[in-house]
Amino acid sequence: MLKDLVWPDEGAPEAADAAPAPEAPPVDVLRAAFGRYATGVTLVTCLDSRHQPCGLTVNSFSSLSLEPPLVLWSLRLRSTQLEAFSAAPHFAVNVLRQEHLALSSQFASRPAEERFALGQWRSGLGGAPVLTDAVASFECGLRGWHDEGDHRLFIGQVRRASQSEGQPLLYHRGAYRQLSVDT
Ligand SMILES: Cc1cc2nc3c(=O)[nH]c(=O)nc-3n(C[C@H](O)[C@H](O)[C@H](O)COP(=O)(O)O)c2cc1C
């Protein structure tokens, strides 16, 4: 288990030296530190029980496993879309390109029923909307979800994946960024 791991060089801390662990960093410190981790930007989508498209801007997306192919992302428990994503058997993850900045803002701030007015969409697995010019897309079956803290973690099994050329949209320190160099 991770909590039992002790680095060989350091050994266990002496009880007398050990400062009491603080309860938690202040939220603004935590937010600023989390924000130093640069991410891509995705739109995660599904169909709700009335067959209406749902979606929001998400940067908590991550690859989880190759065999089997799994992805994960997390949704605020207070999201208006919690019920829809928890019940939908499929969802799609659309990785945005740098030309999609307006689309990202739209899906992060506009009312849910207005979001799909922008962008070219096709119906993916289970009807989940797939952005036709995404830099990559993953059509997933919902494997399960798990609540931790103030978010619900969704795990999906990738059934279809596609990718195309182009520069991804990035998010860092609360602002959209672009790749400036190739490595
Ligand atoms: C770059 C960016 C990344 C975001 N990532 C997430 C995320 O991973 N999970 C989440 O719940 N909200 C995330 N949000 C916020 C949601 O997009 C936003 O709160 C949501 O669209 C609000 O609508 P809702 O109440 O329908 O969820 C992100 C916003 C931005 C701008």
Q: Is residue 148 part of a domain?
A: yes
E strand or H helix at 34, and its extent? helix 27-35
Q: Which atom number of ligand 1 is nearest to the Cα of residue 112?
A: 26
Number of domains in the chain: 1
- Kindly report the CATH number assigned to the domain that includes residue 63: 2.30.110.10
Position 119 scores a pLDDT of: 96
Question: In this structure, is residue 111 part of a structural domain?
Answer: yes
Any ligand 1 atom below 6 A from CB of 96: no
Is 176 a member of any domain? no
**Domain span including residue 61:** 40-162
Does some domain include residue 93? yes
* Residue 156 half-sphere exposure toward CB, CA atoms < 13 A: 33
Query: Residue with the nearest Cα to atom 9 of ligand 1?
Result: 75
Q: Give the per-residue pLDDT at 136.
A: 98
Please give the structure tokens belonging to residue 77: 């428990």
pLDDT of 10 reads 47
Structure tokens at 97: 């390109």
| Residue 46 forms part of a structural domain | yes
Q: Is residue 22 part of a domain?
A: no
Per-residue confidence (pLDDT) for residue 21, from 0 to 100: 74
Give the per-residue pLDDT at 17. Answer: 61
CA gap 120, 92 in Å, rounded: 14
pLDDT of residue 31: 95
Atom nearest to 82 CA in ligand 1: 27
**pLDDT tens, 78-129?**
999 999 999 999 999 999 999 999 999 999 999 999 999 999 999 999 999 9
Nearest to 135 by CA among 39, 38, 69, 40: 40
Q: Is the CB of 58 under 6 A from ligand 1?
A: yes
Could you report the per-residue pLDDT of 47-57, keeping only the tens digit for each?
Answer: 999 999 999 99
In the predicted model, is pLDDT for residue 181 greater than 90?
no
146 is written with which tokens?
């798990």
Residue 7 pLDDT greater than 90, yes or no: no
- Confidence at 183, pLDDT banded by 50, 70, 90: low
Asked whether residue 182 is assigned to any structural domain, the reply reads: no
Helix (H, G, I), strand (E, B) or coil at 158: strand
Q: What is the whole-number distance in angstroms between the Cα of residue 182 and the centre of ligand 1?
A: 28
Confidence band of 1 (pLDDT split at 50, 70, 90): very low
Query: Is there an atom of ligand 1 within 6 Å of 59 CB?
Result: yes
Choose which residue among 39, 54, 58, 60 to substitute to test ligand 1 binding: the one with the highest number of ligand atoms within 8 A of its C-beta.
58
